[in-house]
Chain A
């Protein structure tokens, strides 16, 4: 079971027919609706744990949904560290999930 979008035809608030869009998530096409956040598109596609933590490599995804927790960071069109819940999806967005291993302090960079 997964998060899901309420189908617009059965939504009691009477929405107009939405406009579809497609992004890619780690190279895989994912469809969403114009006006959705990247977090919404990703969640509705069934992916809940799309980031890996630095230290333990644990999965994370949307937690606060309002831009406070920074757990939903993704790379968007080459730019890293974008909060997926704060950024509206644009058709063609190239989204890549993030895993940022901690810097290796034993080997200082030259």
Chain B
């Protein structure tokens, strides 16, 4: 029997696990959380049941259907609180997947290594938040944080809140905040009305085909009206103010390139601000496995969701930011193919069609909400760019000019930007963009990217030491080894 290892139990991973089981594979499903569903279906734990939790979610019955069937299925081993920290490709085919299992950031977690026949990577994405003055103040959150705390804990991150950034995700963030009692003072979308129309207006029949998606967006729009939340395109939060926490924000009108228009600033008193400018795919495991990326930095896949590495499939946001429906379709196709199937087979015909429909959304989102270079216009000399290492924009520029290097690796070492504990997850792509502006033709020359993280999650030295067995090569002697059956 084929052994399929699925990494990530969000929409794509759940769909992959389910499809691989239907095709007859034995499945192991890993997730770093103790709950399935990923960020999209982030929900209350079993210790806090709620009769009408489905009101907070889109596709809730799809989720519970997938989850409950997999839990009941003896052929699917679900390991929660499982953090994959490395993937070692192997010339012979089967990559080794190294995992620690236990309380998040715990001290003595169990170590496991898997060598499955096929891997489905469904690691998802996290918010990308561009730096702005004051974004390091407490009370400044990503949209994802507001969502997670509202849906997973019923907490409002503030009482008077502004939501800002770019993309359709701002709408569910505002809805979630309003749903836990926050007053949402406005949603400020950086994309101007012209860009939004350019992204969303063409080929309206495609939106009709994508019925569920259109309904999801329409539902958020109705919620905006019900809660009287103003939606302002072409505007951005360009600064947050406060001493020990955020007390107000400055909102300004933007040009098409997202540079702020002087004279349009106004200040709004807030106790929280939630800012997201899109999503960054979580690529470290795909890169560690040797998967090739596309020019726009997603995992390159074929019609079977197969990456450029034999036996390694990818689905969901790591192949392109497309939302839950695309993730479900891709996940199903990836799981099916990982278990030995083909996308051309009849039982996945619907998934192939849905994948084609929803892929169009990624292009629309990019056209309407994609990051434009003028955001650098709201940075000041002392704006923190790298939060972990507390590197300011001015210092970054001076170090870059001082070294004269055009290599990302060298510049990271010189400026320390992106070298902190988050390993550049938050600032990496923004730092790359800022550094590239100094390079001739705007391109860094060493070909490295900030998504490469050979150790995909921090381990404690004690845990690393405990891996060392009496052997030459500790990485190959982890315990307990999960054998193929």
Interface residues of A (CB under 8 A from B): 1-6, 8, 11-16, 18-19, 33-37, 39-40, 43-44, 48-50, 53-56, 58-71, 73, 79, 81-83, 85-88
Contact = CB atoms under 8 A, between A and B. Distances in A.
Q: Which 8 A-B pairs have the closest CB atoms?
A: A65-B145, A49-B138, A14-B51, A86-B104, A35-B47, A35-B45, A48-B138, A15-B50
B48 interface: yes
Contact of A13 (B53, B105, B152): B53
B287 interface: no
Given A3-B149, A13-B55, A15-B48, 10 more contacts: A1-B160, A11-B50, A61-B139, A64-B141, A64-B145, A65-B141, A66-B148, A70-B422, A71-B422, A79-B105
B71 interface: no
B61 to A, nearest CB: 15
B122 to A, nearest CB: 15
A100 B139 CA distance: 21
Given A1-B271, A66-B126, A81 B105 contact: yes
A39 B149 CA distance: 9
Given A40-B153, A86-B105, A66 B39 contact: yes
Contacts of B94: none
A14 to B, nearest CB: 4
B34 interface: yes
A13 B56 contact: yes
Interface in B280-310: none
B138 to A, nearest CB: 3
A11 B138 contact: no
Residue among A16, A40, A55, A70 with the most chain B CB within 10 A? A70
B229 interface: no
Contacts of A39: 149
A49 B245 contact: yes
Residue among B53, B126, B149 with the most chain A CB within 10 A? B149
B426 interface: yes
Contact of B55 (A12, A33, A36): A12
B390 interface: yes
B50 A68 contact: no
Interface of B: 32, 34, 39, 44-53, 55-56, 103-107, 126-127, 136-142, 144-149, 152-160, 179-181, 244-245, 271-272, 387-390, 420-422, 425-426, 458
Nearest to A54: B390
A74 to B, nearest CB: 10
Given A58-B390, A60-B138, A86-B104, A36 B49 contact: no
A62 B157 CA distance: 10
Contacts of B421: 70, 73, 81
A4 B245 CA distance: 16
Nearest to B423: A70
Contact of A63 (B44, B55, B105, B387): B387
Residue among B47, B138, B142, B420 with the most chain A CB within 10 A? B138
B331 to A, nearest CB: 20
A2 B246 CA distance: 11
A16 B48 contact: yes
Given A13-B55, A49-B138, A65 B49 contact: no
Contacts of B458: 81
B44 A15 contact: yes
A5 B55 contact: no
Contacts of A79: 105-107
A58 B145 contact: no
B48 A6 contact: no
B321 to A, nearest CB: 16
Contacts of A82: 104-106
A87 B52 contact: no
Nearest to A48: B138
Given A3-B155, A36-B153, A13 B52 contact: yes
A59 B138 contact: yes
A71 B129 CA distance: 14
B144 A64 contact: yes
Contacts of B127: 64
Contacts of B45: 35, 88
